Amino acid sequence: MPSATHGDVELSDSTTNSQTRALNQFLAGVELKAFKIAQAALRHEDDALDAVQDAMLQLARAYADRPAEEWKPLFYRILENRIRDMQRRRTVRGRVISWLPFRGEDDDDEQDPIAQAPSGEPQPPRKLEINETMEALERALENLPRRQQQVFMLRTLEGLDVAETATAMGCSEGSVKTHYFRALQALRAQLGEFWT
Amino acid sequence: MSPVEPREDLAGDEFARHARGVLEESVTRIDGRVRSRLNQARHAALEHARRRPSFWSRFTLMPAAGAVAAAVLVAFVLWPHPRPQDLATEGARATVEDLDLIADGDALDLVSDETDGAFYEWAVEQSENNETSS
C-alpha cells in the first residue's frame, strides 16, 4: 500500500479524511435549508431534492479543495444555477407541451389522496396558528419575483451577509440590498394581516 | 439616486426576525423521506470527494504526463513534413490545370452532357488502367 511507504501520500490521505469530515459537517448543516430554498423556487419537492443533490455533488467534485469558509457562497451559487437551469427547462417543456395536440396529465403532479386527507387528529391552536403563518409566508414568497425571493431566503433563512449573498447570486452588493429591501416591502404588504 | 434607499440594517428588523422564525420552524418540520434522501445525496457527494485525486497525487502524475508530451513533441518535430515551397508549387500547378479545364470549351461540353454515361465509365477505366500500368 503506497500510503504505508510514501510520506506525501500518507499526508494527502489524512488531509483528504479531514477534508471529507469537514465537508460532511458543512453539507449536513446546509442541506435542510438548501432544500427549503430550492422548494420555494421550484415549488416541487422532488425537483428541489434533485437540485440540492446536484449542488452537493458539484461542490464535492469541484470545490472540496477550497477553504471551508468559501463553501457556503459557492454551494448556494451552484444551487441557484441549478434552480435556474431547471426553471428554464420547465419553461421550454411547458411551451412545447402547450403546442402538442394531445397532452396527458403529468403523473408526477398527482397527489396521493390518502396522504392529502386530513388526519382527523385535532390540532392545538398554537400549532394551527404557526401552520397558517407558515402557509401565508410560503404563498407570499411564491409571489415574489425570483431575485427578490432568492435574496430574502439566502439572507433571512440561511443568514448569509450581503457580500456572501452577492457571491451566491453573482451580482453586486448594491443589487442584493435593493432586492432585499423590495422583498421585505412586498412581503409586508402581503402579510400585513398575519404579522402586525 | 433611487427613490427608495435600501437600508443595510433591515436584516435586523422585527418583520425579518419573525419571518426567520417561521422559516426555521418549517425547516424542522421537513419530513423523514426528504431527510433520508438528502442524507443519501450527501453521502454520494462525499464519496465523490473521497475518490477525487488528491492535491499531491496530481503532482505525482505530472512527470509521466510531461514525458508523454515531450515524446509527442519530438515525434512531431522529427516527422518528415513537405516543404512549404513544394506545397506552393503543387497548388499552383493544380490551379493552372483547373484554369485549363475551365478555358477548354470541349471539357465544359462534356460536363454538361449528363446523358453520356458511357464516356464517364470509359474515362474511369482509362484512369484505372493508367494507375495499374504505372
Residues A89 and A130 in one domain: no
CATH number at residue A135: 1.10.10.10
Domain that holds residue A162: 124-191
Domain count, chain A: 2
pLDDT digits (tens, 9 = 90+) for A121-144: 556 666 677 788 888 999 999 999
A25 and A90 inside one domain: yes
The verdict on ipTM greater than 0.85 is: no
Q: Is residue A105 part of a domain?
A: no
Based on the domain organization, do A77 and A152 belong to the same domain? no
| Assigned domain for A6 exists | no
Residue of A nearest to B24 (CA): A157
pLDDT at A8 over 50: no
Q: Which of A11-20, A84-93, B112-121 has the lowest mean pLDDT?
A: B112-121
Domain definitions of chain B by residue range = 11-54, 84-133
In a domain, A136, yes or no: yes
Q: Are B46 and A24 an interchain contact pair (Cβ–Cβ within 8 Å)?
A: yes
Q: Is residue A59 part of a domain?
A: yes
On whether any CB of chain A is under 8 Å from the CB of B58, the answer is no
Q: What is the per-residue pLDDT across B99-118, written as a single tens digit (0 to 9) for each?
A: 665 565 555 555 555 556 67
- Report angle CA B10, B14, B15 to the nearest 5 degrees: 80
| pLDDT score of A121 | 54
pTM score of the predicted model: 0.62
Tell me, yes or no, whether A3 lies in a domain. Answer: no
Residue A196 resides in a domain: no
Whether B34 sits inside 8 A of A15 (CB atoms) is no
Do residues A65 and A74 make contact, with C-beta atoms less than 8 angstroms apart?
A: no
Burial of B61 (0-12, 13-18, 19+ CB in 10 A): exposed
A113 within domain boundaries: no
| Closest-CA distance of chain A to residue B63, Å | 16
Whether A91 and A129 map to the same domain: the answer is: no
Between CA A151 and CA A148 the distance in angstroms is: 5
What the block records as the C-alpha cell of B87 is 506545397
